[in-house]
Amino acid sequence: MPITENTQNNTFFYQALAVCVCLTFFTLPIGTALFTTCSLSALAIWLLSGICYRDRANWQGQNWLMPLTALIILPWLGMLWTSAPLEQSFKLAVRSHYWLFALVSVAVMKPDCSLRSILLCFISGTTLIAMIVFLSLHGFFPETVYLHKFLFRYYLTFALFLVISLLLLAFFYKTATWPRKILLIALMLFLALMITQLKGRSAYLSLVLLSPWLFITMFGRRRLIPVLAALLLTFALMASSGTVRERIALIPKEIKLYQSGVSSSYQLPDGSSTPSSIGLRLMMWKDALKIIQQHPLIGAGTAGYQLETNKIAPGQGFSQPHNSYLYIAANYGLLGIGLYGWLLFVTLKRAWRSRQQLSGNSILAFLSVILIGSLTETHIHSAA
């Protein structure tokens, strides 16, 4: 009798954990608050139910465990040598719990069927928000406070989620029946259209660079005509978008403004001021490089970037440089870059070996987009 009850309890906790992980991926594109609640719930179940101990064979001895553990500890160690206020550095160190979610996910993602469900939840959450944003942009949905914040603050990360969803759908397309393939193509066209409606230039770059892989995954290496046709359609869709053309045209203008000494804003003919995102980024990157030169080995410590940039330009210190690699190097120096590079290397190596399977392909999809997006945004600074 006790054995039966034990088995039932274990099954309940595994199911509860699976639900929480699915909800975590579903809410990832929706908002940080819901995502954090679901991920912490999953972490609590994983720890308190004993799954972390029973399934320890799934994560003990894995080649990614040591660099992952080091990256969880690093922000806390960085508090020892930072000059930033304790409250400021503590807020950043607490975010290391996001890395723990990798251990939690391993317990659920082992079977391909579970992984498929989790990825479909992520695609569903992304599609739901894409539909709401599309309706809002075209006047069919009232603009709420959430949508206003989303369109002006979170569109960069969300646009990258759209690219990831396209890459995942391309893999599902391979084994789908023809009716489902038609539905998948329609969904992919909608998500691609949404990318061109948003202002995320890093998403444009990701889509352009990863489109060949996307369509080779869908149609295969030998079907050159469908691959080329799909590439032409994608580039035509981007070129026909006024938003894309406008955002691309701003790049040389903003670089010239920065070179002329205007980094944060420039005046329009009507006298209004418009932010120069390229100028701001170039200024942030320049400051980050100065900090790296001053603290090359272990960086300025947790939250050190913000403190040091405030010294360079009092009252204008930025919390992050809109570049994950510079953020790590400025805060943790060569030590941080080495640990982050170690984790990326072992993860990419493992994913590449199983790229024909859903597990390897999905890891490559997430990592490739995040690595490109990290050139212009500090995704390691957030839940994404």
pLDDT at 103: 87
Long-range contact set of residues 211-219: C-beta below 8 Å, sequence gap at least 24? 211/235, 213/167, 213/368, 214/166, 214/167, 214/170, 215/170, 217/167, 217/170, 217/171, 217/173, 217/174, 217/361, 218/170, 218/173, 218/174
Q: What is the pLDDT of residue 167?
A: 98
Tens digit of pLDDT for each residue in 33-61?
Answer: 899 899 999 999 999 999 998 888 888 88
Q: What gap in Å lies between CA 114 and CA 108, rounded to an integer?
A: 7
At 362 the pLDDT is: 96
The pLDDT value recorded for residue 333 is 98
Beta carbons of 230 and 218 less than 8 angstroms apart: yes
9 pLDDT band, cuts 50/70/90, is low
Q: Is residue 122 within 8 Å of residue 165, measured between CB atoms?
A: yes
Average pLDDT over residues 101-130: 90
Percent pLDDT > 70 in the chain is 92
Q: Are 43 and 100 in contact (CB under 8 A)?
A: yes
* Integer angstrom CA distances of residue 359 from 52, 289, 373: 21, 37, 21
Q: Which two tokens stand for residue 342?
A: 């170690």
Angle at 382 (CA atoms; ends 38, 164), nearest 5 degrees: 80
Q: Is the pLDDT of residue 366 over 70?
A: yes
Tens digits of residue pLDDT in 171-229: 999 999 999 999 999 999 999 999 999 999 999 999 999 999 999 999 998 899 999 99
Least confident of 64-73, 262-271, 293-302, 337-346: 262-271
230 in Cβ contact with 238 (< 8 Å) = no
**348: β partners:** none
Token pair recorded at residue 26: 């579903």
pLDDT score of 20 more than 90: yes
Boundaries of every domain in the chain: 114-240
**DSSP code for 382:** S
Residue 261 — very low, low, confident or very high, per pLDDT cuts 50/70/90?
low
For residue 26, give the nearest of 127, 109, 108, 132 by alpha carbon.
127
The one-letter amino acid at 53: Y
- The proportion of the chain whose per-residue pLDDT surpasses 90, expressed as a percent, equals 66
- Higher-pLDDT residue of 6, 288: 288
Q: Full-prediction pTM beyond 0.85? A: yes
